[in-house]
Amino acid sequence: MIGTETMLLGALLLDAALGEPRWLWSRLPHPAVLMGRCVGWLDAHTNGGDHRRLKGCAALFVLVIGAWGLGSLLEEISPGGLIDTLLAAVLIAQRSLVEHVSAVASALRQGLPEGRKAVGMIVGRDTAEMDEAAVARAAIESAAENFSDGVVAPALAFLVAGLPGILVYKVVNTADSMIGHRTPRHEAFGWAAARFDDLLNLLPARLAAALILLGHGRLTGWGLVARDAGLHRSPNAGWPEAAMARCLGVALSGPRSYDGEMRDFPFINPEGNRSAGAGDIDRASRALWRSWLALLLGVAVLALI
């Protein structure tokens, strides 16, 4: 029987080689899209009236149990681990992440309006008034955070709990992105999804930071990364962002606007360059591959053991 480590190794390589084939997902719904539909249905049909936090907990329970059950069933019928490997490759998003980040650099070279439009496709903040440095910082932050959420976390979930694990992680992460917001509609209903997503990402975020450092040959500097991670509003996102900021020598985070309101967030790696540009986004894209290689080598060692 093929081990989980070997299947994960294959999944990482498949994703790196193929990414998200447009010809396939233009004909079939992506698993993440199907998860989003499930979350949307529960939101539309159960998020109302009294006891919204309790209803949100129940909705998350249904999503988690459903994902675990489906993963267990697919594992049982998977011939030689083929379904496990293919689905894990689909749910790990290294190549598509690099492509989206690199697209911002290409667009920014065409002009600031193009750069704002491109970065607006991968971040949730206001982009209309961004200058070049703000566009670049947003792209680099997205690269770091999504390396954790989209690559390291699902890979670790698969390594620990196989197909059920990665499906549970992805459905919780999808729920958090859709309903885990402090808005009048979702602050209570999405509370459980947001908190559970924070819990599931505690270890992956720190592992992602370590991989980013290792990918750049840095065996020291963890104390400074931890210091800067503490400046971030998120308990997890600050770790890979702080590591990326250190390795690239740029300052990340800082003031930005959400829903027309400017928020004065502190800079991460405040000593770094605050005038980042398209070239720094390119370096972030290369950093993603170096960090991915560190992850791949780690999984290969586990497979050999």
- List the chain domain ranges: 4-304
Residue of 180, 210, 205, 212 lying closest to 193 (CA atoms): 180
d(CA 64, CA 177): 15
How confident is residue 254, by pLDDT bands cut at 50, 70 and 90?
A: confident
pLDDT tens-digit map of 158-189: 999 999 999 999 999 999 999 999 899 999 99
Coil/strand/helix, residue 197: helix
Is 256 in a helix, a strand, or coil? strand
CB 268 within 8 A of CB 251: yes
Point out the least confidently predicted range of 129-133, 146-150, 291-295: 129-133
The span from the CA of 272 to the CA of 198, in Å, is 28
Determine the length of the chain. Answer: 305
